[in-house]
Structure 1
């Protein structure tokens, strides 16, 4: 997952049980979702090319029935791992070859059954299903690896934005919808999220997803900014998302790539609010140290003007 999708990672982590129930109800029913242990630093050892991969979301939880390798007589040991990768590129070819290696790493490191899931943000496939990675040596099929997937662009946004699951309301922002309904969909999603019986932080995450992936009109933009300005805890969460993205970027040894991704995200945010950015302003942003750029990204969500950011 790229650093600028840190928001999506925070969203799925917060609504993990809802995610499983919404898209994989049969699987969700076989897990005990009342307690989840997050394994935050699952970093693969350096492969031969020297790159490193921090897995997106790795959860350890109990199962309600024994899985292969479990002792049927010892329910206390019925543990499993759910691994979710969030993929933003508009094709599957970048991630799929890595999935078997991710699985083997987790299976060996944890000694537990592993359920692999991919959340595609820009690839629809069949909406929800099972996909496979296969390798052959001539006519011999050496490896077949299967995983569950959600392809959000393959799902109907209107159905989910009107549904009873709040995560589905927010994720409708990435689903298919007729062009003439896009802005209305964003307003409807925000209006529903505003009334959701959730914590302020949870409503912020849901609203931020809508804001990021759907174009909002002036009224919708004003409504979103109320989420951030109205509650100190919400502002702290917004700040935390940017800071965690920076921390992970450094840990992966990809600070330069993170800097570029953060710059693109901030520019996109500001252009949606203030129109085309002056070239000098963008150059000045790019020259800032990464730590300062993160701070600008946090302030960009509530600033009333470019001047208020103090970049020039």
Structure 2
């Protein structure tokens, strides 16, 4: 899995309600996006043997109104699935048959209505619209399948920075940004995220997206860094001292006589236990074998991981 895949899967899981409200406001009114259950790692094998189909994100959630043609679940609530595929390659065509196949697999397995959405991070379909997959047998068209999509590169970053939606501030980094305002708007995106009142983890996820994708060169990066140390952006400075870094400082202070690596291991253990509960003994053993460089990387990864398995520490 590419880094951007995991980053955006984590972002959408954490900010799902904001994602739907940002791009599909009418659907946000009809679906209860605050009660989503993520069906992690949906895998469909090709019988009898073959490649597995692994879906990016599948969420099950209640509808706010009856869904014609489908029976309600227990308690009289209608349930639905939202399937999101994150696409970053240079061509959109491969996504169309994949969305159609995934739709059929989900319908067959769960018997629930499915809302399919494609998210294009780079080159692909543009804007917010509906795309169509069709199959033809000469002049006969037995299949016509539609799915909704968001193509970030064609959207206006300024417009989304002005919206009251924290996810939009981060995703603006992949939208059209006026070249003469790159540094100014990058600083503004980080300032808004820092002052959002969200948890440290959520602000880290949003800020890291801006840091990773805001399209500036080295000179513009230095200019941006110079702006961020001014008083107006003091909140960004505080945000950049991440939860992990605060823990590392504490760990290094406690373990400095025994070396930085041990201090980092101690801090990592505390953070892992806070995130995932009591750790099996094997985790401590694995940490003990990691180099200082590996510990530093793990410290970054732990903030976006959803489980020990995501970090390779589950066995």
* TM-score in same-fold range (> 0.5): yes
Q: Secondary structure at the match of 1:29?
A: helix
Q: Is 1:118 the equivalent of 2:118?
A: yes
Which residue matches 1:7? 7
Q: Pick from 218, 222, 225: which aligns with 2:222?
A: 218
Coordinate RMSD, CA, aligned = 3.2
Which residue matches 1:307? none
Deviation at 1:209, TM superposition (A): 0.8
Deviation at 1:229, TM superposition (A): 3.2
* d(CA) in 1 for partners of 2:185, 2:246: 24
8 A contact 2:63–2:77 mirrored in 1: no
Task: Report matched runs for 1:63-82 at 5 Å.
Answer: 63-71=63-71, 76-82=76-82
Q: Pick from 241, 244, 268: which aligns with 1:229?
A: 241
Which residue matches 1:27? 27
Deviation at 1:80, TM superposition (A): 0.6
Task: Name the TM-score, length of structure 2 as normaliser.
Answer: 0.70
Task: Name the TM-score, length of structure 1 as normaliser.
Answer: 0.71
Q: Secondary structure at the match of 2:164?
A: coil
Q: Is 1:83 the equivalent of 2:87?
A: no
8 A contact 2:72–2:79 mirrored in 1: no
Structure number with greater Rg is 2
Q: Secondary structure at the match of 1:105?
A: helix
Which residue matches 2:192? 192
> Bigger shift: 9-18 or 221-230?
221-230
* d(CA) in 2 for partners of 1:13, 1:66: 25
Q: Deviations over 1:35-90 (max 9, x none)?
A: 11110020121368832232111100111112233237976241110011111112
> Bigger shift: 30-39 or 209-218?
209-218
Which residue matches 1:309? none
Which residue matches 1:94? 94
Structure 1 unaligned regions, length at least 5: 241-289, 302-312
Q: Deviations over 1:266-305 (max 9, x none)?
A: xxxxxxxxxxxxxxxxxxxxxxxx999975644679xxxx
| Residues 234 and 18 (structure 1), Cα distance of their counterparts in 2 relative to 1, 3 Å cut | farther
8 A contact 1:85–1:118 mirrored in 2: yes
Q: Secondary structure at the match of 1:125?
A: coil
Q: Paired residues, what number?
A: 251
* d(CA) in 2 for partners of 1:198, 1:121: 24
| Residues 50 and 184 (structure 1), Cα distance of their counterparts in 2 relative to 1, 3 Å cut | farther
Task: Report matched runs for 1:148-167 at 5 Å.
Answer: 148-167=148-167
8 A contact 2:91–2:124 mirrored in 1: no
- Where relative contact order (Cα < 8 A, 6+ residues apart) is larger, the structure is 1
